[in-house]
Structure 1
């Protein structure tokens, strides 16, 4: 199975689960009922084959229903881990914000989050991403090698931080 399969735990932060729930609620209680109303209205207007509101509405309903199904599965499979409760803060574990430096001393800050919470632009990388797998369990000063599409890279762990309660 792939990265979104159920072959491994779906670790997620409390904030990440809240974001999934908020999206589910917005679709289920907000957009979907409004769209059903529009489709019903458009269906009553006669010829459906050339009715843009009807055709677009039905297509969007299918998209929403697929997304709701996916969100539901991800929330059911979620294992919430609160990074503020991490005991061993001297090593890189789920929820850690890690400063790493490459061979040229270029520093980068990444936070290890659930795969459903990733946002590369803000440095939030998924728990199962190659760099996150390489950093797991590392302490400050450790050197870790990562196989990336561009080739192998080595990173030194410069700092480790966890959110506080």
Structure 2
């Protein structure tokens, strides 16, 4: 599996998030896909059957129009079904990338773990992931974020300027890993 994003694939990253018809490839790391798959299995095997049983029990109590348990249960069931469809669609259409299989380890590509140093000498480490895997507190940022886009194809020692709400910041790539 080719791990480097071609120019066409990078252009695909710029398609709008909500545009389902855009020729947009979604990338997920293997770990991100596994997390989403575990959530899907949990929803299908645990959450949905539990809520379905609760709705059935509430429906058996009689008048459904004033039965708060029934109304809330049906709403929760719709939310679960919506999330199941979302996860299935994302997993079916995503391109799974295994960062450890990256051939060009001298540059930043999707899945890379990058250590950056700012102008003040403070170091921060981020993994470049897909939009469905974002966890800022866990150090995972989207490839579509301003920092993620700025870092693509950069090497150790390269400096990038990133515009953020608090103003521009200059970041230098200190280390690139593909774990």
Counterpart of 2:86 in 1: which secondary structure?
helix
Give the TM-score taking structure 2 as reference length.
0.85
1:84 maps to what in 2?
A: 100
State the number of aligned residues.
Answer: 163
Aligned: 1:19 with 2:35: yes
Structure 1 residue ranges, 4+ long, deviating more than 4 angstroms after superposition: none
Which runs of 5 or more structure 1 residues have no equivalent in the other structure? none
Deviations for 1:57-115, whole angstroms, at most 9, x for unmatched residues?
11101111111111111112200011010011111111111111111111111111121
How far apart in 2 are the matches of 1:130 and 1:97? 16
For 1:108 and 1:54, the matched residues in 2 are separated by: 48
Which runs of 5 or more residues in structure 2 are unaligned?
A: 1-14
Using structure 1 for the length normalisation, give the TM-score: 0.92
Q: What is the alpha-carbon root mean square deviation over aligned residues?
A: 1.4
> Quick one: distance in 1 between partners of 2:18 and 2:135?
16
Q: Which residue of 1 aligns with 2:161?
A: 145
What SS does the corresponding residue of 2:70 show, helix, strand or coil?
helix
- Of 74, 77, 81 in structure 2, the residue corresponding to residue 61 of structure 1 is 77
